[in-house]
Structure formats: structure tokens, C-alpha cells
């Protein structure tokens, strides 16, 4: 007949929970050793031989075995750790029984297993541990080896031992609580930072989706007037016969064609943004797509490109091309004669550099770019803010530098975008 264990018994303990328990066992071993030495050498109290031959060796052996098995068995269940806890409590109970029971100031050390249990266990094993510890405390109030039956030099020595022991136990428990609370506080702070980071990323993602929806809606509304202008251009071409009029209509047709391509690209990008997800592509293909979009908007402008000699595969989503294109657009606005794009790989990751020969900005203006959306007539507002948000989603950084004859914008991305994603 097999015994059915409760579900919490098999629940694995986390690494930091096992570390707390190991710290408790080490702490308890040190306390018992110091207390015995204190009794014997300071107050000359002769305790039963079981203190030296049974209880203390059992505690030291248990602590030694725990530190021995933890590296080999990195995951212990709650039931296994509870069994070790019960073993430690039994040893501590025998130690206290032979040294005065509740009269021994060390009785207050029973608070320590309750505190540790509440930290590392779920509700059921923690409740069992509390009941067991409470029962041991009340039993030690009734059953114990009287301290006065031992060889105590004087009554003053007994009171001094009790008062000093209470102070020592208080300090010891304070140290143990500090060892518990500080790591928990650090873990809580780290979780809080992760939560804030995830909230920020969620808000940024919603913002990008809203912009994608707005762009798709705007493209749909602009499609009708552009089609109307195309019909008017075709009608005018049939009625106007002069060469000058035909040349003007050719220019108009070219511009309408540029607008139509731009709208098609906006619809495609908006549809892709509504379906987020990373994909793999070669860096050269990614740059070729960015250059094609840039040339579509600036057909008369050259874009020198420098790529790494080693082929690189990127694992990105569609937002990265928007980030790079926004920087190119901003550079082309202020430097129509020269805009260049460089890509470099290093030990930290990948760097996109957009270089222009514009007039440049003041240091105070450079420090504000991308920090928040600006409403300026000459630009440098929402586009750079979107770029900053996209770069942050990749755990990257956006930097602006100004030299004597050029302004440089850099997107620094981690190596993770060049590594294969892990499929769950």
C-alpha cells in the first residue's frame, strides 16, 4: 500500500530559499558551539555529557551534510527541507532540555526557525513548522533538566548568565534577521525594477501600435485624393498639347508615383507593426531595404553605406528599420548634400551610425533629442522619440555626437540581436 504525499511535499525549493536554510543551519551550529563554550569556560557550569557527545555533534554533522549535498542536489523539495528542519528542531530541543529548558535564554532562538520557515515554505509546511516549534516551546516549559541541579558557582553567576545570554540571543537573532531581510529587500527591489521596465515597454508597445493604426488610417484617407489627382493628371495630359505642359505633367506624375509608393509602404509597415514578432534576416538585406525606403523619399540624394566584412544575421522585428530610417530622415533634412550610414560590429554588439554635414546642434539640444516628443516646426520631435523607444525595446542605447563639421547619431544594440532566439 503506497502512501500518497501532499502536493506541496514534492514542490521544488528555489536556490535562494535553500541558501536561507543553509545560513540558518550554520547560524544555529555557531550559536550552540558558542553557548557551550560560554557555559563551560566563562561560568563554569557543568552540563550533561549528552550536550557534548550527542546534541552538538548531531547539529554539526547535519550542517556539514547539508553543505555537502547542496552542490550535488541543486533542487530539494519542500518535504525534504521540512524533514531537515524537523531534525534540526529535535536536536535543538534536546540541547535546550539538557540546559534548563525555558530558563535557558537560548529558548528564544526558537523564533529563528519560525522566521525562516515563513520565508522559504508555502502555507502548509510553514504552518506545520509553527505548530511544532510552539509545541516544543511549551513542552520545554514543563520538562527540562533544572539548571540549579548543575554545578553553578553562585546565584549571581546564574543571574549574570541569564541576562548576558538574553542579550546575546537578541543580537544573534538580529543578525539572522538581517541576513534574511537584506537579500529579500534586494530581490524585491530587482523585481520592482523589472516590473517598471515591463510596464514601460508595454506602454511603448501600445504607443507604437497606436501610431501604426493612425498611419494606416491616414494612408487610407490619402489614397482617395491621390487617385483623384492621378485621374486629373491623365485628363490634363490628353487636353494639353504644349511641350511645357507635358513636362510639368511628367513631373506631377513622378511626384504622384512617389506618393503612391510611400503610401503603399506605410500600409505595409502598419500591417507588420500590428503583427509583432521577431524574424531573421541578413544585415545586408536589412540595409538594402532601409536604403530603398530612403531613396524613395529622397530620390536625388546619395547614401554611402559601409558594412562589416563578416556576414551578420539579425533577429529583429519591423520596428528597427523605422528607427534607422528616422535618423536618416532627420539627417537628410539638415544635410541635403551628404548623409552616410555605417554599420560596425564589436564585442558589445552592433552599431548603426548616421553621419551628416549639417550645421549641428548645441550640446544642450543634443542631450534632449529622443528624450521626449517635441513640437517644433523644423522637426526633431516625434521621429527621434520613436527611435529612442524602439532602441530601448532592444535594450540598446541612442547617442548623438557633434564634431566640427559633422553630426553623428548612433544606435548601439546588444549582441542578443545577432544571436539565435530560444524557442520555448
Among the three residues 271, 288, 319, which one is the final residue of a domain in this structure? 271
Residues 249, 222: one domain? yes
Residue 287 reports pLDDT greater than 80: yes
User: pLDDT of 222-270, one tens digit each?
Assistant: 777 777 878 787 888 778 778 888 888 888 888 878 777 777 766 666 5
Question: Whose CA is closest to 64, among 88, 44, 90, 41?
Answer: 88
* pLDDT at residue 131 in the model: 96
Residue 24 lies in a domain: yes
* Residue 379 reports pLDDT greater than 50: no
Which domain range does residue 55 map to?
Answer: 12-151
Distance CA 156, CA 418 (A): 75
Residue 264 sits in the same domain as residue 302: no
Same domain as 376, residue 315: yes
279 membership: H or E segment, kind and range: strand 279-282
Residue 297 — pLDDT band, cuts 50, 70, 90? confident
Mean pLDDT of 403-407: 78
Residue 114 predicted with pLDDT over 70? yes
Q: How far is CA 367 from CA 322, 363, 372, 376, 381, in A?
A: 21, 6, 11, 16, 13
Q: Please indicate, yes or no, whether residues 298 and 221 belong to a single structural domain of this protein.
A: no
Does residue 166 form part of some domain?
no
352 lies in a domain?
yes
Do 45 and 93 have their domain in common?
A: yes
The total number of structural domains that make up the chain? 3
pLDDT at 416: 85
Average pLDDT across the chain, whole number: 81
Long-range contacts of the stretch 43-46 (C-beta < 8 A, 24+): 43/152, 43/153, 43/157, 43/160, 43/161, 44/151, 44/153, 44/157, 45/147, 45/150, 45/151, 45/152, 45/157, 45/161, 46/150, 46/151
Per-residue pLDDT averaged across 164-188, rounded? 82
Q: How far apart, in Å, are the Cα atoms of 212 and each of 129, 209, 256, 262, 264?
A: 56, 5, 23, 14, 13
End-of-domain residue from the set 116, 151, 186 = 151
Q: Are residues 243 and 142 in the same domain?
A: no
Question: Residue 369: which pLDDT band, with cuts at 50, 70 and 90?
Answer: low
Residue 144, C-alpha cell as written in the block: 527540562
- Tell me, yes or no, whether 191 lies in a domain: no
- Name the residue with higher pLDDT: 32 or 203: 32
How confident is the model over 27-31, as a mean pLDDT?
91
Is 90 exceeded by the pLDDT of residue 90? Answer: yes
Is 424 part of any domain?
no
Among residues 218, 250, 271, which one ends one of the domains?
Answer: 271
Using alpha carbons, select from 337, 358, 32 the residue that is nearest to residue 172. Answer: 32
DSSP category for residue 289: H
Least confident of 39-43, 118-122, 134-138: 39-43
| Bigger pLDDT: 258 vs 92 | 92
Quick one: average pLDDT of 331-359? 87
Is the pLDDT score of 274 beyond 60?
A: no
Give yes or no for residue 195 having a pLDDT over 60.
yes
Compute the C-alpha angle 99/104/108, nearest 5°. 125
Q: Identify the weakest region by mean pLDDT among 6-10, 224-228, 291-295, 376-380.
A: 376-380
Report if residue 39 sits inside a domain.
Answer: yes
- pLDDT given for residue 140 in this prediction: 94
Q: How confident is the model at residue 137 (pLDDT cuts 50, 70, 90)?
A: very high
CATH number at residue 326: 3.30.565.10
Angle CA 226–227–233, to nearest 5: 90
Given this model, what pLDDT does residue 143 score? 92
Q: Which DSSP state fits 99?
A: T
Average pLDDT value for residue range 346-368: 74
CA distance linking residue 357 with residue 375, whole number of Å? 24
Which among 386, 329, 341, 338 has a CA at the least distance from the CA of 359? 338
Q: How many residues does the chain have?
A: 424
68-77 mean pLDDT: 79
Tell whether 32 and 92 lie within a shared domain: yes
The DSSP H or E segment spanning 306 is: strand 305-306
Spatial distance between the Cα atoms of 269 and 69, rounded to a whole number of angstroms: 56
Distance CA 60, CA 29 (A): 6
Average pLDDT in the 195-210 region?
Answer: 69
User: Which pLDDT value is given to residue 424?
Assistant: 37
Tell me how far apart the alpha carbons of residues 159 and 163 are, in angstroms, rounded to a whole number.
6
Residues 147 and 222 reside in one and the same domain? no
Q: Are residues 305 and 399 in the same domain?
A: yes
Question: 253 and 315: one domain?
Answer: no
Domain-located, residue 295: yes
CA-to-CA distance for 413 and 320, rounded, in angstroms? 10
Residue 51 or residue 40, greater confidence:
51
412 lies in the same domain as 287: yes
Burial pattern 344-363, b for ≥16 Cβ within 10 A else e, equals: ebeeebbbbbbbbbbebbee
Residues 146-152: contacts with CB under 8 Å, at least 24 apart: 146/100, 146/103, 147/45, 147/99, 147/100, 147/103, 147/104, 150/45, 150/46, 150/47, 151/44, 151/45, 151/46, 152/43, 152/45
Distance CA 328, CA 303 (A): 9
Q: What DSSP element (H or E) covers 344?
A: strand 339-345
Where is average pLDDT lowest: 165-169, 198-202, 300-304, 328-332?
A: 198-202
Together in a domain, 131 and 26: yes
**What whole-number distance in Å separates Cα of residue 94 and Cα of residue 91?**
5
Q: pLDDT higher for 217 or 179?
A: 179
Residue 250 covered by a domain: yes
User: If you average pLDDT over residues 378-389, what whole number do you get?
Assistant: 68
Predicted model pTM: 0.54
Amino acid at each position: 500500500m503506497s502512501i500518497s504525499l501532499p502536493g506541496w511535499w514534492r514542490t521544488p525549493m528555489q536556490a535562494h530559499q535553500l541558501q536561507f536554510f543553509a545560513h540558518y543551519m550554520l547560524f544555529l551550529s555557531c550559536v550552540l558551539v558558542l553557548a557551550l563554550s560560554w557555559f563551560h569556560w566563562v561560568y563554569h557550569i557543568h552540563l550533561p555529557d549528552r550536550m557534548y557527545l550527542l546534541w552538538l555533534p548531531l547539529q554539526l554533522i547535519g550542517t556539514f551534510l547539508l553543505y555537502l549535498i547542496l552542490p550535488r542536489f541543486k533542487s530539494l523539495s519542500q518535504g525534504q527541507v521540512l524533514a531537515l528542519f524537523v531534525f534540526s528542531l529535535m536536536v535543538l530541543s534536546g540541547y535546550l532540555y539538557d540546559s534548563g529548558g525555558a530558563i535557558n535564554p537560548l529558548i528564544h532562538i526558537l523564533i529563528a526557525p519560525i522566521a525562516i520557515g515563513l520565508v522559504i515554505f508555502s502555507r502548509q509546511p510553514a504552518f506545520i513548522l509553527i505548530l511544532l516549534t510552539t509545541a516544543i516551546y511549551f513542552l520545554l516549559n514543563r520538562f527540562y533538566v533544572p539548571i540549579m541541579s548543575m554545578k553553578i558557582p553562585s546565584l549571581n553567576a546564574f543571574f549574570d548568565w541569564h541576562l548576558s545570554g538574553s542579550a546575546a540571543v537578541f543580537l544573534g537573532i538580529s543578525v539572522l534577521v538581517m541576513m534574511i531581510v537584506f537579500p529579500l529587500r534586494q530581490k524585491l527591489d530587482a523585481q520592482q525594477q523589472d516590473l517598471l521596465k515591463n510596464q514601460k515597454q508595454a506602454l511603448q508597445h501600445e504607443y507604437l501600435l497606436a501610431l501604426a493604426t493612425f498611419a494606416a488610417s491616414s494612408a487610407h484617407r490619402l489614397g482617395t485624393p491621390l487617385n483623384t489627382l492621378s485621374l486629373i493628371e491623365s485628363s490634363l495630359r490628353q487636353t494639353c498639347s504644349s511641350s511645357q505642359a507635358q513636362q510639368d505633367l511628367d513631373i506631377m506624375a513622378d511626384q504622384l508615383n512617389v506618393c503612391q509608393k510611400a503610401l503603399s509602404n506605410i500600409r505595409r509597415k502598419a500591417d507588420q507593426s500590428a503583427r509583432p514578432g521577431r524574424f531573421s534576416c541578413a544585415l545586408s538585406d536589412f540595409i538594402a531595404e532601409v536604403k530603398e525606403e530612403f531613396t524613395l523619399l529622397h530620390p536625388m540624394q546619395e547614401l554611402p553605406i559601409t558594412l562589416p566584412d563578416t556576414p551578420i544575421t539579425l533577429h529583429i522585428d519591423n520596428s528597427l528599420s523605422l528607427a534607422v530610417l528616422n535618423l536618416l530622415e532627420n539627417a537628410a533634412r539638415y544635410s541635403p548634400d551628404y548623409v552616410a550610414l555605417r554599420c560596425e560590429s564589436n564585442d558589445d554588439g552592433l552599431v548603426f551610425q548616421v553621419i551628416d554635414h549639417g550645421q549641428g546642434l548645441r550640446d544642450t539640444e543634443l542631450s534632449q533629442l529622443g528624450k521626449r516628443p517635441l513640437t517644433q516646426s523644423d522637426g526633431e520631435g516625434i521621429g527621434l522619440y520613436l527611435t529612442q523607444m524602439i532602441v530601448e525595446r532592444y535594450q540598446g542605447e541612442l547617442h548623438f555626437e557633434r564634431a566640427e563639421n559633422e553630426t553623428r547619431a548612433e544606435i548601439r544594440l546588444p549582441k542578443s540581436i545577432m544571436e539565435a532566439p530560444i524557442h520555448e
